[in-house]
Structure 1
Amino acid sequence: MSVTTVGPAVSEPATRAEKVDLGVELLAHLERDELRLPEAMDRIETVTTNPALTREILDTAEKRGVIDRENARLRVLRGGTYVEYDSQVVAREGDFECKRCGAGITTGHFVRLEAGELGPFGSSCVRKVIGRDAD
């Protein structure tokens, strides 16, 4: 992965609809075709920890044809839309807390999606969030 240092972070999604769009887009960009529900929840929790909003993200993703849910598994229906590390993952130096694990980090990795920017994450957590590394 190339590390690009850029200016200040983009602000977090402010509205419920923006958070839903970001969560749905994150699910659409996962690099695995199938996830257990807890794995999907781990990723969605980087957008929100609100249970009602999490359910809305999953329902919206299903309605938009991004995922299919069966029992405690999700199947990602859109192939080939993976996050491009060179252009969609940027690193910024600073004093951050990883949005996934809570660790203090000095290099924050941010995922740029059309719906917004997600992060900061540590170098290993960003790979897990987008599904590049197994949990």
Structure 2
Amino acid sequence: MSGPASRAEKRELGVELLANLEHEELSLAAAIDRIETVTTSPSLTREILDTAEKRGVIERENARLRVQRSGTYVNYDSQVVTRDGEFECKRCGASVTTGHFVRLDAGELGPFGSSCVRKVTGRESD
């Protein structure tokens, strides 16, 4: 259940998270809200956004991002797993007894509460 350890692993996880968002367009603030589940480092956040743009995952214009996807969303049946225990949501900090974890090729992200996992993946707006 440990998160990605290295800067490179966190960068890859952040880029993959952006590639799998549910909505095609979102504000920079909303994208950063999601990236902060991977890192709170401003320099790594910028690196994730720059890498995603260089790879064609996103396009940036002003304070908006457009996701350039190939039809990949997080599949809740196979990519979101739950575990019972005592967890702190990586997005909001709330205590949860059921942690939701998102499995991506680059690694696992979580734990999240039930509403935060939907917000992180872009399935639900704030």
1:89 partnered with 2:67? no
- Show the 5 A alignment for 1:12-91: 12-91=3-82
Compute the displacement of 1:103 (Å): 0.2
Q: Secondary structure at the match of 1:91?
A: strand
Instruction: Provide the rounded CA distance (Å) in 1 between the counterparts of 2:71 and 2:115.
Output: 22
Q: Secondary structure at the match of 2:71?
A: coil
| One-letter code aligned to 1:93 | D
User: What do the CA deviations read for 1:49-77 (whole angstroms, capped 9, x no partner)?
Assistant: 00000000000000010000000000000
The number of residues matched between the two structures is 126
| One-letter code aligned to 2:82 | A
Instruction: Provide the rounded CA distance (Å) in 1 between the counterparts of 2:55 and 2:97.
Output: 37
Compute the displacement of 1:80 (Å): 1.2
Structure 2: segments with no counterpart, 5+ residues: none
Q: Secondary structure at the match of 1:68?
A: strand
| One-letter code aligned to 1:120 | P
Structure 1 residue runs of 4 or more that deviate by more than 4 Å after TM superposition: none
